[in-house]
Amino acid sequence: MATTDLRGHGDSDAAFPCYGDAATGADVLALVADLGGPAVVVGNSMGAGAAVWAAAERPDLVSGLVLVGPFVRDAPVGAVVRLALRVAMLPLWAAACWKAYLPKLYAGRRPADFADHRDAMVASIRRPGYRAAFSRTTRVSHAEAQARLGEVRARSLVVMGELDPDFASPAQEAAWIASRLASSVVMVAQAGHYPQSQRPEVTAAAVLDFLAEVAPGA
């Protein structure tokens, strides 16, 4: 198993010239190829859009997809809301705004270490150069992923928190994605945008069952 950070996040560099599903998807494919793929790619949030793009781009390297709290298309929001979000995520105060908003994404059960996790995330954003990188990632469009949904041939699993505040109806969004990818869906009770940390026992069981089907020798 291998993990990777989004460009401009975590241990990644903050000086990338571009961000988005295609850019991140290309990073994922480079990692899979370097490790000798193919691989089942797990993507959370905007990482799911990158996973979809990667599966469409190189079906030989992606044998399965697990999409958790997935953004694979742009939400239908008005110009005023879009402008407000862009202003809130300007580099000057992006860390403070994200610290205030993060608890909402953990609707339902929160992990015991949530406070420490939030503090570490905010400190990470405040590192030199990372405020701007974080701000840029909040502005990306997922049109690149949506345009390629019909090209994906890998089997997929959609895992969605029943309380995910990023979607007007998490269940309807999960069903829409599943209809485009012929996916199975697992709705996780008492979880918001991060069911893998809010309900790890439920999410892990679903992922392991899926892996047993698509990669039984792994």
**Which pLDDT score, from 0 to 100, does residue 88 have?**
73
**Which pLDDT score, from 0 to 100, does residue 1 have?**
86
**Which pLDDT score, from 0 to 100, does residue 78 have?**
60
**Which pLDDT score, from 0 to 100, does residue 117 have?**
96
**Count of C-beta atoms within a 10 Å radius of residue 78:** 8
Which domain, by its residues, includes 151? 21-77+141-214
pTM for the whole structure: 0.92
What stretches in the chain show pLDDT beneath 70? 77-84, 217-218
Residue 196 counted as domain residue: yes
Residue 127 counted as domain residue: no
Q: How far apart are CA 42 and CA 162, in angstroms?
A: 19
Q: Give me the number of domains the chain comprises.
A: 1
Residue 89 counted as domain residue: no
Q: How far apart are CA 21 and CA 105, in angstroms?
A: 21
Q: How far apart are CA 89 and CA 134, in angstroms?
A: 8
What tokens does 127 get? Answer: 């590192």
**Which pLDDT score, from 0 to 100, does residue 82 have?**
67
**Which pLDDT score, from 0 to 100, does residue 80 have?**
57
pLDDT in tens, 81-122: 666 677 777 778 889 999 999 999 999 999 999 999 999 999
**Which pLDDT score, from 0 to 100, does residue 83 have?**
66
Contact partners, residue 49, CB within 8 Å, separation at least 6: 21, 24, 25, 43, 70, 71, 72, 142, 144, 145
Residue 71 counted as domain residue: yes
Q: How far apart are CA 36 and CA 53, in angstroms?
A: 19
Q: What's the CATH code of the domain at 46? A: 3.40.50.1820
